A = this chain, B = another copy of it.
Amino acid sequence: MQRYFVPVDQIQERTIMVIGEDAKHIARVMRMREGDEVICCDGQGRSWLVRLVELETDRVVGTILRELDENVEPTVKLTLAQSLPKGDKMDLIVQKGTEVGITVFQPLETARTIVEYDAKKQAKRRERWQRIAKEAAEQAHRTFIPEIRTSQSLGFWLSSIQEYDLVLMPYEGEEQRGIREVLTRFPQVTTIAIVIGPEGGFDKEEVERAKAAGVQTVSLGPRILRTETAGLVTASAILYHYGELGGGK
């Protein structure tokens, strides 16, 4: 069944209104008719089965038949703190990370980050990533649209990491401690942040500062992953570990 994210203020007790591009999609692209059914999500975790009652090109109204209990969001909430990569790689990171189940994307600026955006371009980028997250969430049948936060420096972000139960930094220089060893020591967590370096990696001072702030450096094994791959692989491993990826706890 076709799925649409609808802003909370267009959802009432018994009716839902879809406007803009999504209304066009329903009426023109999908050529739906009165009586057809769709799933509407508020992007915050709730979703409803909706029967369409009024279709115009720029405005579609539906009656809520019932709330759904889809239960597709991971119990473990993952934040991907991703050092800004070159080119348009962040598009791929947001799309794939949303599919697998990331909850928050936190772009980071680090010592070896090459890209620099002015405030205006930054706002545009963030809008773009938010749109990619929405589309990927729709396609992945998620009921939550991941949040794209404003870029921060690594140092400033580190000052706020008490909000997480566990912060993992995959790091080539970490040869002792594999990710599984750390996850096994934390059987009960609800929020985990994954910190990924840019193309050139973190510099040693950054790693030391992160460790001092409570970040756990971990090894992902002997193969070196690119910056745009590392977060997705780490998220897959974490979700698998906690039974959130076809796990059957």
A interface with B by C-beta (< 8 Å): 70-72, 92, 96, 99-101, 139-142, 170, 177-181, 218-226, 229, 232-233, 236-237, 239-241, 243-248
Contact: B233 with A245, CB < 8 Å?
yes
A120 and B230 alpha carbons, distance in the complex (Å): 35
Contacts of A221 in B (CB 8 A): 101, 239, 244-247
Instruction: Contact check, A99 vs B140: say whether CB atoms are below 8 A apart.
Output: no
Q: Is the CB of A226 within 8 A of B99?
A: yes
Residue pairs across A and B with Cβ atoms less than 8 A apart, 15 shown, are A72-B222, A72-B223, A92-B92, A99-B226, A100-B233, A140-B224, A177-B248, A178-B246, A179-B246, A221-B239, A221-B244, A233-B236, A236-B236, A237-B245, A240-B241
Residue in contact with A226 in the complex, picked from B139, B181, B229, B241, CB distance below 8 Å? B139
- A204 to nearest B CB, angstroms? 18
